[in-house]
């Protein structure tokens, strides 16, 4: 049985879902649990074709509640476990994610966003930002990478497993139907050959020795008797999450510290923004961009710097202000005026972004 699906480096032209399946294999994932939902299905399709060849497992569950909770079980057993979902499946996934968050279980969840509600559309949407970053009955102690290209789907899916197991917070890849279904070229590689060491998984339960004799039993709970107990649990989660935030947070920017208008966008929309900003800058217009790669935690310090130096932050997203809420909270009190450009569930072109920037600058 071959150990690795990818050796050396090679260029590929494939769909985003296929990329995710390859990346999970490259990251050393052991088992995927999943329930069919468009537009993530092909992650399961490719995983189920490749997994047995590398000694990996798959379980198709009865729904996303089960997909999430079986993923939790896989992690508890000490295996790198992941699932993928979208839309209403992401809604159901919030319950297991709440458990994982509070118990510090490093599940990896790939969300290929779709327009809501229920069936709605399955192509282009950024309407699952709020749910993915702070959904569930908890405080949103998770890490969310918003990818914008197939290369990033590959790079960040590998990274997500490492981040999850290093910091022990649930970790998301937030893509969308467009990235999932579109074909694009990318370079795939064996992470270890590139010097990226894979963080090993460890069991939470079923460790060696007899509990009570050789070691104390491992006992995980979400039930607390008094307010002080749950307060302490949440305070510890908050302290740990805040402590890693600056280390985990990632962003990209161009002239964000020296432009009159800074366009803020994440995920696939940031590609249109980059193109627009580059064209406008060539024409001598004072514009830059700021693209959060992690939506949770945000690169708050750098964002606030941009928001203090620019006159206007133009917030562009394929949702009705879900990213904008995160940005406004992080940049509270900064000088820039925040101007929305929301097209919920719709694609956004570079031309539209350029036109909006020009109209702001008069």
Binding residues for other proteins, per CB under 8 A?
Answer: 30-31, 33, 57, 59, 61-63, 65-66, 69-79, 81, 95-96, 98-99, 203, 205-214, 217-223
Which C-beta is closer to other proteins: that of 65 or that of 361? 65
DSSP assignment string, 1-66? --S-S--SEEEEEEEHHHHHHHHHHHTT--EEEE---TTTHHHHHHHHHHGGGGT-EEEE-SSHHH
- For the bound state, the minimum distance from the C-beta of residue 254 to other proteins, rounded and expressed in Å, comes to 43
d(CA 75, CA 53): 22
Which C-beta is closer to other proteins: that of 98 or that of 253? 98
- For the bound state, the minimum distance from the C-beta of residue 52 to other proteins, rounded and expressed in Å, comes to 14
CB 261 within 8 A of CB 360: yes
- For the bound state, the minimum distance from the C-beta of residue 322 to other proteins, rounded and expressed in Å, comes to 26
- For the bound state, the minimum distance from the C-beta of residue 108 to other proteins, rounded and expressed in Å, comes to 14
- For the bound state, the minimum distance from the C-beta of residue 71 to other proteins, rounded and expressed in Å, comes to 6
Which C-beta is closer to other proteins: that of 227 or that of 282? 227
Which C-beta is closer to other proteins: that of 5 or that of 34? 34
Residues 6+ apart with CB under 8 A from 268: 124, 126, 148, 175, 176, 178, 179, 318
DSSP assignment string, 264-329? E--TTHHHHHHHHHHHHHHTT--EEEEEESEEES--HHHHHHHHHH-SEEEEEESSSSHHHHHHHH
Which C-beta is closer to other proteins: that of 88 or that of 344? 88
């Amino acid at each position: 049985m071959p150990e690795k699906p990818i050796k050396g480096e090679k260029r590929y032209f494939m769909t985003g879902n296929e990329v995710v399946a390859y990346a999970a294999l490259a990251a050393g994932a052991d088992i995927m649990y999943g329930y069919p939902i468009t537009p993530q299905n092909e992650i399961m399709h490719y995983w189920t074709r490749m997994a047995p060849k590398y000694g990996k497992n798959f379980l198709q569950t009865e729904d996303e509640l089960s997909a999430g909770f079986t993923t939790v079980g896989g992690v508890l057993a000490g295996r790198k476990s992941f699932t993928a979902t979208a839309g209403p499946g992401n809604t159901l996934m919030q319950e297991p994610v709440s458990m994982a968050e509070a118990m510090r279980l490093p599940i990896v969840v790939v969300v290929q966003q779709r327009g809501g509600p229920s069936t709605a559309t399955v192509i282009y949407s950024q309407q699952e930002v709020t749910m993915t970053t702070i959904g569930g009955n908890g405080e949103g102690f998770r890490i969310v990478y918003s990818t914008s290209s197939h290369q990033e789907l590959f790079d960040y899916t590998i990274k997500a497993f490492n981040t999850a197991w290093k910091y022990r917070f649930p970790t998301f890849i937030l893509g969308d139907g467009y990235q999932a279904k579109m074909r694009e070229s990318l370079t795939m590689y064996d992470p270890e050959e590139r010097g990226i060491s894979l963080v090993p998984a460890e069991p939470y339960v079923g460790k060696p020795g007899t509990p009570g004799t050789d070691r104390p039993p491992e006992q995980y709970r979400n039930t607390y008797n008094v307010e002080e107990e749950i307060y302490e649990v949440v305070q510890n989660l908050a302290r740990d999450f805040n402590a890693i935030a600056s280390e985990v947070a990632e962003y990209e920017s161009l002239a964000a510290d020296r432009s009159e208008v800074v366009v803020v966008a994440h995920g696939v929309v940031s590609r249109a923004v980059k193109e627009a900003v580059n064209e406008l800058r060539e024409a001598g217009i004072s514009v830059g961009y700021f693209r959060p790669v992690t939506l949770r935690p945000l690169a708050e310090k750098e964002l606030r710097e941009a928001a203090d130096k620019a006159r206007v932050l133009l917030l562009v997203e394929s949702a009705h202000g879900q990213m904008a809420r995160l940005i406004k909270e992080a940049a509270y009190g900064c000088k820039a005026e925040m101007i929305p450009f929301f097209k919920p569930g719709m694609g956004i072109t570079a031309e539209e972004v350029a036109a909006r920037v020009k109209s702001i600058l008069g």
